[in-house]
């Protein structure tokens, strides 16, 4: 039996905003539980911030020193673990890199860093035998990182699908249920501490793409080139489409999805992966994920379908995930940073979006005139697209009528070519709007 360490785990906390403040509260509130689970205390020795003079709503952990100098954390030999809760890529990346060099373990919630520059850090941590944990980086309180890295290692994962951005889901839910304006809902999400420092990451889909990149690594053991991922967010989404989708029995959700396609033996997995707003049938669990909640559906060849649901953002839900990683560090668990053997991950093969197959919802603003429906059907037929349902609304505002239809399964390439035909034939009063349809 190995001897259990009983000396306090000394923490250097980089970042004392929403999540850092939540962590300070939890360390205090759950101190006895931490001792029961690890046999040790956790002590925050130093807290790094950008602006030391800023008024803060949460008190500094007892005995902690505030600093604006990263070296006070990285170069302090008493600090065992650096908890990075600053966000951003460059400064956060260099402090983690330096802390690894200085022999520290790392806990981070920084999905942007992990998705865009994380491979080098994971490789370095692996080489040096350091723990680098990141449960809070994906889906807040939902323990999906641990599930993929540990509990589901007996499964081959065919599909991962989820709602991975709390801010966008909050905005879409408020627009759907209360008819709230996009910008008002975004402001509320910012006030509640859900949004990123730069909220365009949330609404343009990049935050969900960061998280999906991390899940892909964990599920398939490959590096997915983040810049190759097709990403479309919810900016400019119209309440008309939310309303019309409801009439067809669907909700619009920002979906992150990865599917493994057939691969030749010995080749890296071929993956179809991306982030996009999609219509989700109201009977599916994903359609019922409201507010700041996130969800992840995982299909495994042994487990079948699994559905994880919980708070995807906010101070305590996220801090709880950070604390779970700290408990693992305090227990000195063996580094298992990617869930796969070896320091290097090979690169996934990317399926171009043009080849993806899906059903579509399409809204065209057209003239209410004889022959329009015939011409539209012609444009679709030219690309082999079969229409499943069509509705036409009345011309209330003089911008033409919304002609809305759902298609049977087709490729993205065929859909964009067919829509180009409608444009070339002068049928459109406004650019076409189209979304994938799930289930
Ligand atoms: P936040 O509220 O904006 O707090 C960031 C903290 O880091 C602040 O204390 C800030 O200092 C400090 N900081 C930022 N840049 C710094 C720099 N260059 N040098 C020193 N200190 C710096 O952010 P947050 O919402 O807590 O998010 C932190 C991390 O957790 C991010 O990676 C985010 O993506 C991730 N995350 C957040 C949530 C959430 O719900 N908020 C959920 C999951 C993951 P000042 O206080 O002086 O400005
Ligand atoms: N801004 C992120 C979101 C925080 O809204 O989901 C949680 O990662």
- Note the ligand closest to the C-alpha atom of 167: 2
Does 272 sit in the ligand 2 pocket, CB within 6 Å?
no
Contact 200, 171 (CB under 8 A): no
Decide if pLDDT at 1 tops 90: no
Atom of ligand 1 nearest to the CA of 49: 21
Name the residue at shortest CA distance from atom 8 of ligand 2: 313
Distance CA 75, CA 138 (A): 29
Does 140 sit in the ligand 2 pocket, CB within 6 Å?
yes
Give ranges for CATH 3.30.70.260 in the chain: 354-437
Span 85-113, pLDDT tens digits: 999 999 999 999 999 999 999 999 999 99
Q: Which of 142, 430, 432, 172 is nearest to 278 (CA)?
A: 172
Distance CA 189, CA 195 (A): 6
Does 135 sit in the ligand 2 pocket, CB within 6 Å?
no
Angle between helices 18-29 and 31-38 (to 10 degrees): 70
| C-alpha distances out from residue 254 to 81, 143, 175, 236, 360, Å | 35, 20, 13, 13, 15
The fold of the 354-437 domain, in CATH, is: Alpha-Beta Plaits (3.30.70)
Confidence of residue 321 (pLDDT cuts 50, 70, 90): very high
Q: Which of 429, 421, 418 is nearest to 365 (CA)?
A: 429
| C-alpha distances out from residue 429 to 51, 391, 396, 423, 433, Å | 51, 17, 14, 9, 12
- pLDDT for 264: 66
Decide if pLDDT at 343 tops 90: no
Distance CA 234, CA 230 (A): 14
Quote the DSSP letter at residue 142. Answer: -
- pLDDT for 397: 64
234 C-alpha to center of ligand 2: Å?
A: 14
| C-alpha distances out from residue 207 to 161, 179, 322, 394, 417, Å | 15, 25, 18, 38, 29
Question: Mean per-residue pLDDT for 12-34?
Answer: 98
Could you tell me which residues come within 8 angstroms of residue 300 by beta carbon, excluding any fewer than 6 positions away? 152, 155, 156, 157, 158, 306
Question: Mean per-residue pLDDT for 54-65?
Answer: 96
Give ranges for CATH 3.40.50.720 in the chain: 3-137
Give ranges for CATH 3.30.360.10 in the chain: 145-311
- pLDDT for 33: 98
Distance CA 237, CA 243 (A): 11
| C-alpha distances out from residue 78 to 23, 33, 235, 327, Å | 20, 23, 46, 18
Span 360-403, pLDDT tens digits: 999 999 998 899 999 999 999 999 999 999 998 876 666 689 99
| C-alpha distances out from residue 330 to 9, 129, 151, 268, 325, Å | 6, 15, 21, 35, 9
Span 132-176, pLDDT tens digits: 999 999 999 999 999 999 999 999 999 999 999 999 999 999 999
Select the CATH number that applies to the domain covering 3-137 from these four: 3.40.710.10, 3.10.20.30, 1.10.260.40, 3.40.50.720: 3.40.50.720
Q: Which of 62, 314, 65 is nearest to 191 (CA)?
A: 314
Atom of ligand 1 nearest to the CA of 86: 7
**Tokens of residue 313, six digits:** 């953002």
Helix (H) or strand (E) holding 373, with range, is helix 372-382
The arrangement of secondary structure in 145-311, i.e. its CATH architecture, is: 2-Layer Sandwich (3.30)
Span 213-267, pLDDT tens digits: 999 999 999 999 999 999 999 999 999 999 999 999 999 999 999 999 977 666 7
- pLDDT for 344: 82
Name the residue at shortest CA distance from atom 7 of ligand 2: 313
Does 57 sit in the ligand 1 pocket, CB within 6 Å?
no
Decide if pLDDT at 14 tops 90: yes
Question: pTM score, two decimals?
Answer: 0.96
What are residue 311's DSSP bridge partners? 293
- pLDDT for 5: 81
């Amino acid at each position: 039996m190995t001897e259990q360490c009983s000396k306090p785990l000394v923490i250097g906390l980089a970042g004392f905003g929403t999540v850092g403040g939540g962590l300070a509260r939890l360390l205090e509130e759950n101190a006895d539980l931490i001792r029961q689970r690890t046999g040790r205390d956790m002590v925050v020795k130093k807290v790094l911030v950008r602006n030391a003079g800023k008024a803060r709503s949460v008190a500094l952990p007892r005995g902690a020193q505030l600093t604006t100098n990263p070296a006070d954390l990285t170069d302090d030999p008493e600090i065992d673990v650096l908890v990075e809760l600053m966000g951003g890529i460059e400064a956060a990346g260099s402090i983690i890199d330096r802390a690894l060099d200085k022999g520290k373990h790392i806990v981070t919630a920084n999905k942007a860093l992990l998705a865009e520059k994380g491979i080098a850090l994971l490789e370095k941590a692996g080489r040096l035998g350091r723990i680098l944990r990141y449960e809070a980086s994906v889906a807040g309180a939902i323990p999906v990182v641990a599930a993929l890295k540990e509990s589901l290692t007996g499964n081959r994962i065919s599909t991962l699908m989820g709602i991975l951005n709390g801010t966008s889901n909050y905005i879409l839910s408020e627009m759907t249920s209360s008819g709230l304006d996009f910008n008002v809902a975004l402001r509320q999400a910012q006030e509640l501490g859900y949004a990123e420092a730069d909220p365009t990451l949330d609404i343009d889909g990049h935050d969900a793409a960061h998280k999906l990149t991390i899940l892909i690594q964990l599920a398939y053991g490959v590096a997915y080139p983040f810049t190759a991922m097709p990403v479309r967010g919810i900016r400019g989404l119209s309440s008309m489409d939310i309303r019309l989708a409801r009439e067809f029995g669907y909700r619009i959700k920002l979906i992150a999805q990865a599917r493994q396609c057939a691969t030749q033996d010995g080749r890296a997995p071929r993956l179809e992966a991306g982030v996009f707003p999609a219509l989700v049938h109201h009977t599916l669990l994903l359609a019922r994920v409201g507010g700041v909640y996130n969800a992840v559906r995982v299909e495994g060849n042994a487990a079948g379908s699994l559905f994880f649901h919980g708070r995807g953002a906010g101070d305590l839900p996220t801090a709880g995930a950070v604390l779970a990683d700290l408990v693992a560090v305090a227990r000195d668990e063996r580094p298992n940073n990617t869930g796969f053997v070896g320091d290097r991950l090979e690169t996934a093969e990317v399926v171009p979006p043009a080849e993806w197959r899906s059903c579509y919802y399409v809204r065209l603003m057209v003239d209410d005139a004889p022959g329009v429906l015939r011409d539209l059907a012609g444009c679709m037929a030219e690309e082999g697209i079969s229409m499943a349902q069509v509705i036409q609304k009345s011309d209330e505002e003089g911008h033409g009528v919304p002609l809305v239809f759902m298609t049977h399964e087709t490729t993205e390439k065929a859909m964009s070519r067919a829509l180009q035909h409608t444009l070339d034939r002068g049928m459109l009063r406004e650019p076409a709007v189209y979304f994938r349809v799930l289930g």
